Structure 1
Amino acid sequence: MFKFEIIENSSEKWTEIVNKSSTYDFHHTAYFHKIDTLFDSKLLVFSFQESFIALPIVIRPIDGTDYFDITSVYGYAGPIYNFEENYDETELIVFFKNSFIDFCKEQNIVSVFSRLHPLIDQESIIETLGEIVDLNKTVSIDLNQFAEVQRKEYRKSLKSDLSQLRRKDIMVREASNKEEVDAFIEIYYETMDRVSAASSYYFSKEYFYNFLNNDDFTSKLLVAIKEDKVIAGAIFTITDKIIQYHLAGTTEDYIRDTPMKLILDEARLFGNTTKAESLHLGGGVGGHDDDSLFRFKSGFSKDFKQFSVWKYIVDQKIYDELSKEKAKSNFFPLYRS
C-alpha cells in the first residue's frame, strides 16, 4: 500500500529515513535544515513497503499573500530514495508526483525551487514536474579507485606544488583542540573579508563548534600547520558514500603557498580509508576553466559532475499574477526578483 507522510524537523524519523537512503549528503539531514534556514522545513516521504522517495523542503510564506513557495537549503539537496532489490519503482514515482502535486495545492504552494545533487540520480524522480536546468560543473574524486590512480589524474603542476609544500615542512592533521578550531574560524573570517563575501557567510563561532560535533553526520576539520601555527583549514563532512568539501580558508600570509592543495590531498587519502565512494569538491562560479576556483579544484580530478536546479510552477495563474510587476529575467521564482 502506498503511503505519504509529512515528517517534522523535530522528529527522529527524519534521521531514520535519511540514513536508510541509498545515497545522501549532509544537506539532506534534519540538523542542516535546522541551522540553514529560519523557515519551516519538512521531509516529505512517499513509500511502498520498504521502498521510498523522500524530499526535504523549506516552505516560505510569500509576503502580503496567503500563498507559499518551496525552496531547498543552500548546497546540494533534492530527493533521496531507496528502492528494494528487484522492485520496479515506476508506480512509486507516479505516486510521488501525484501526491506531491496534491500537497502543493492543499498548502497553497505557488512554485518549487530546489538545488539538486550532482552525485545523486534525481532526474528520473522529478522529470515532467517543471524543468531541470543545468548550471555549472562540479569536481569529484572517485574514491573507488586506487590512490595511485587518483593521483595520476592530478594536473602536472599540482603534483609539483604538493612536493614543494611538503619540502616547506607544512603538515596537515585533524584539528585536535579548541585553540586550533578557533584559529581556523579566524582564518575563515579573514578569507571571507578577502573575497568580500555576503554577510550570510559569516557564521558565529557556535555554528562551527556545533557543526563539528553534531549527531546527524560526521565532520572533520583538517588544518595545515607551519611552525606550530595554523595557516589554513577546511571542514569536510562524511556521510555513508559522500565526503563533501565544505567551509575553508587560508591566512593572508600563506595564500601564495596554497596550502589548501595539501589539505585536499590529505582529505583524499583519508577518504580512501573510509567506505565513502566520492570526495566531492564542488564547483566554482561558472564551472569553466576561466573560473579560478573551478580551475583550482579541477587540478585534482577530471571526474566532472553536472550541477542542476529544479524549477516547477504549481499554479501558473497565481505565479503570473505575483510576477506581473517584475521585469522579465531568468530569476526563479520571478516574483522574488
Structure 2
Amino acid sequence: MISLITVFQKRDWTNYVQQSLQYDFYHTWYYHSLIKDDEPILFVLHEGDDFIAFPLLKRKIPNSDLYDLTCVYGYTGPISNRRLDDLPAQMMDDFKSEFLHYLKGEKIVSVFSRLHPFFHQIPLMKHFEGVCDNGKVVILDLQLPLEEQRSKYQKRVLEKIRQLRRHGFEVKEAHSQHDISAFVAIYTENMIRIGATDFYLFNEEYFEDLLSSTEFDSKLLMVYHNGEPVCGSVIICTQNIVQAHLLGTRTDYFRDSPAKLLTDEISIIGRQLGMHYFNLGGGVGFKEDSLFLWKSAFSSKSLDFKSWRYIADLEKYNALVNEANIDPELNVDYFPLYRYHNPQAKLYS
C-alpha cells in the first residue's frame, strides 16, 4: 500500500518518523514545515507491519508542466521501521516499482537526495541508478573517554583550544531573543563573507522556529569574549547523534578561531546528553577542501557520504538541459544540470 503524506498531515508524518529504527531531525515533520518555497512530501510504502518512508520536496520546473524532487538541507534519504539493509528483497523491488510509478504519474523528471552517512540506505538505493560518492564526513566518537578523544586532535588544535580558554573565551547556552538576534547577525555575516548563496541564508524567524521544536532537542550555544558574542551554533540532538546544524564566527574574531573551542565544548555537551557521535560534516559542496581539513584536525574517523541523483525521464531531462543552453558534457558537480544557470538555483551537489 502506498501513502503520500503532505506537510498538512503532521500526525501521520510524525508517527512514521518516530516508528523508524533510525532517523535524524532532517526527516521530521517540523523541519520540513520550515520549508516555504517547495512542497514537502513523505512517500510511504506499507507491507504488513513494515514500511519504507522517504521525505522529499516537490518543485515546479519553471516554464513547463513538469516537476522534480529534491531534499531539505541536510542528510535525509529513506527511513524504515527495519534496518534498510535487512529489508526483504521483494519489498525493495516493490518500493522501486511504486516509486517509479509515482514519478511517471506526477511528471517528475529527476530526483536528488542527500543520503545519511550513519544509516544503511545504500542497499535499497542501489535498486535504482544514480547513487554517487560525495566524499566523507568527519565524526567524533563520543563513546571514547574525553581525554582519549582530545589526544586525537592535531597538536595545534589542542593548543589553540587551551589558548582560547586562557584568554577568557567561554561557551554558554543562549536563550534570550537578544542572543538569537546576535547569532543571526553573526551567521549572516559569516555566510556573506564566504560568498554563500541565498539558500544558506535564514531569517530570525527560522532560528526561533528551529529552537522551539518538540520533535528534537535543539540548543543555541554561543562563544563569548569579555561578555561579547563572537561565535555560535545551533546544535541538534536526535537519537544518538549531535550535529552543529549551522555555525558562524564574527569576522573580527575569525583569526582567533573560537569555533575550535565551540567544537570541543559541543563534544562535552553531547556526552552529557547521552549522544554517541558528533557529526562534524564534510567540506563545502562535499569536497575535501579547507573546511574538511579543518574538521579533520579533530578526528581521523570519517564515514562515506553519498547522494542519489536519479533521472526519471531522460528525454525530458535532456530537452530541459538543451532549452537552458547548457552543454550536457559540462564538467560541474551540479544536479539537476538544467537548473545550473538559474540564479535562484540551489547548489545541491
Same fold flag (TM > 0.5) = yes
Deviation at 1:298, TM superposition (A): 0.9
User: 2 CA distance for matches of 1:316 and 1:38?
Assistant: 26
- Find the counterpart in structure 2 of residue 300 from structure 1: 298
In 2, are the aligned partners of 1:6 and 1:44 still within 8 Å (CA)? yes
CA contact (8 A) 2:171 2:221 kept: yes
The answer to whether the 8 A contact 1:83-1:89 is kept is no
Q: Are residues 1:96 and 2:99 paired?
A: no
Listed as ranges, the matches of 1:1-337 within 5 Å are 3-11=1-9, 12-83=11-82, 88-285=87-284, 291-325=289-323, 326-328=326-328, 329=330, 330=332, 331-337=334-340
**CA displacement, residues 215-265 of structure 1 (integer Å, 9 cap, x when unaligned):** 222211111122222121111111112211111111233222111111111
Q: Deviations over 1:110-141 (max 9, x none)?
A: 22111112222211111131221112221111
Aligned 8 A contact 1:223 1:234 in 2: yes
Contact 1:223 1:233 in 2 (8 A): yes
Deviation at 1:196, TM superposition (A): 2.6
Once residues 19 and 151 of structure 1 are traced to their aligned partners in structure 2, the CA distance between those partners, rounded to angstroms, is 34
- Is the alpha carbon distance of 1:62 and 1:179 closer, same or farther for their aligned partners in structure 2, counting shifts above 3 Å? closer
* Alpha-carbon spacing, 1:148–1:315, altered in 2? closer, same or farther (3 Å): same
Distance 1:311 1:202, change over 3 A: closer
Q: Which moved more, 1:310-319 or 1:52-61?
A: 310-319
Q: TM-score, normalised by structure 2?
A: 0.89
The separation in 2 between residues aligned to 1:37 and 1:113, in whole angstroms, is 18
Shift of 1:75: 2.0
Q: Which residue of 1 aligns with 2:344?
A: none
Please give the secondary structure, in 1, of the residue aligned with 2:80: strand
Name the residue aligned to 2:347: none
Aligned residue identity for 1:127 = K
User: 1:30-80 deviations in whole A, cap 9, x for unaligned?
Assistant: 222222351111101112333221100111122232221111112212111
Q: What is the root-mean-square deviation of aligned Cα atoms in Å?
A: 2.2
Give the deviation of 1:88 after TM superposition.
4.8
Cα distance in 1 for residues equivalent to 2:252 and 2:23: 37
Could you give the per-residue CA deviations for residues 262-310 of structure 1, whole angstroms, max 9, x where no partner exists? 1111110111122332211111126666x22111111111111222211
Say if 1:86 and 1:113 are closer, same or farther in 2 by CA, change over 3 A: closer
- For this pair of structures, how many residues does the alignment match? 334
Deviation at 1:335, TM superposition (A): 2.7
Instruction: Give the partner amino acid of 2:38.
Output: F
CA distance, structure 2, for counterparts of residue 136 and residue 252 of structure 1: 28
Tell me the percent identity: 38
**For residues 85 and 53 of structure 1, what CA distance do their matches in structure 2 show?**
8
CA distance in 2: counterparts of 1:315 and 1:192, whole angstroms: 35
Equivalent residues of 1:231, 1:251 under 8 A apart: yes
How far apart are residue 207 of structure 1 and its match?
1.3
Give the direction of change, closer, same or farther, for the CA distance of 1:288–1:115 in structure 2 (3 Å limit). closer
Distance 1:82 1:60, change over 3 A: same
Partner of 1:272, secondary structure, is: helix
The one-letter code matched in structure 1 to 2:25 is F
8 Å contact kept, 1:50–1:84: no
Query: 1:183-218, CA deviations, whole angstroms, 9 ceiling, x for partnerless residues?
Result: 222222222232232233332111111111122222
Partners of 2:26 and 2:99 in 1: CA distance = 21
Normalised to the residue count of structure 1, the TM-score between the two structures is 0.92
Q: Which amino acid aligns with 2:249?
A: T
* Maintained 8 Å contact 1:36/1:74: no
In structure 1, stretches of 5+ residues that fail to align are none
Relative distance call for 1:88 and 1:292 in structure 2 (3 A) is closer
